[in-house]
Amino acid sequence: MTIILSIETATPVCSVALHNENKLLGVYELHTEKSHSEQITVLIEQICKQNNISLKEISAVAVSKGPGSYTGLRIGTATAKGLCFALQKPLIAVNTLEGMIWQISACVEPETLLCPMIDARRMEVYCLLANREKEIIEPTQALIVEPHSFEKYLSEKKIVFFGNGASKCKDILNHENAVFWENLYPSARSVGQIAWQKYQQSEFENLIYFEPFYLKDFVGVQPAKKML
């Protein structure tokens, strides 16, 4: 039995999940802004109690590493690292946007491309581009969305834009191949799915040096891209 506790705090939605290998045991999601620091440990306690699992039985802790909210990522990372130190368990980190891909990849047509978007600020989003097989076409980046963004891809294929950053791009990316699923947030459910694969490959983080993938730190040195 391999029990993985997953934590997702990169956006206003706070969620935790338990998986036994690749089987979902339970997931709790709280759609309340600015409640992460108060509720994350409560959610963890509740989901373990519901499944009659003690923290000592957990094999690893997985965390959504970003990009996303600075504060949310810090809370999730601190919680995950604290548990790993206390329980002497490995830490697994999952790219937030890649986790979002896993949430909808089975729901789209084979040739459709997927673009998860997390709101950054103004007309900027954190995003990547992937196909239905979860292969990354354009890597994680901070993007200033303009009318010609994604033009070379939209001219050939349908793209599903989704996440809390997609709504502000709807009027700008006005193309017949652009589809918008706006009310979809990252979930610990998909973090746990990816974490199980990483666990099997022993892809663990260094507990001392691991930090969230803020992305903006890098963008501060190199300006955000204006188009794909």
The pLDDT score that the predictor gives to residue 123 is 87
CATH number for the domain that contains residue 38:
3.30.420.40
The pLDDT score that the predictor gives to residue 38 is 82
Chain segment 130-170, per-residue pLDDT in tens: 999 999 999 999 999 999 999 999 999 999 999 999 999 99
Distance CA 161, CA 127 (A): 9
Distance CA 205, CA 59 (A): 14
Query: Looking at per-residue confidence, does 210 or 218 come out higher?
Result: 210
Rounded average pLDDT over 97-122: 95
Residues 13 and 91 in one domain: yes
In a domain, 42, yes or no: yes
Residues 120 and 152 in one domain: yes
Chain segment 57-71, per-residue pLDDT in tens: 999 999 999 999 999
Residues 78 and 90 in one domain: yes
CA distances from 129 to 9, 20, 159, 200, 204 (A): 22, 30, 9, 26, 25
Is residue 3's pLDDT more than 90? yes
Residues 142 and 108 in one domain: yes
Task: Tell how far CA 183 is from the center of its chain.
Answer: 14
Distance CA 24, CA 3 (A): 10
| Cβ-contact 33, 18 below 8 angstroms | no
SS3 per residue for 60-117 = EEEEEEECCCHHHHHHHHHHHHHHHHHHCCCEEEEEHHHHHHHHHHHHCCCCCEEEEE
Mean pLDDT of the chain: 93
Residues 36 and 85 in one domain: yes
The pLDDT score that the predictor gives to residue 222 is 45
Residues 92 and 102 in one domain: no
In a domain, 143, yes or no: yes
Residues 109 and 76 in one domain: no
Q: Please give the tally of structural domains in the chain.
A: 2
Task: Write out the residue range of the structural domain in which residue 136 sits.
Answer: 97-181
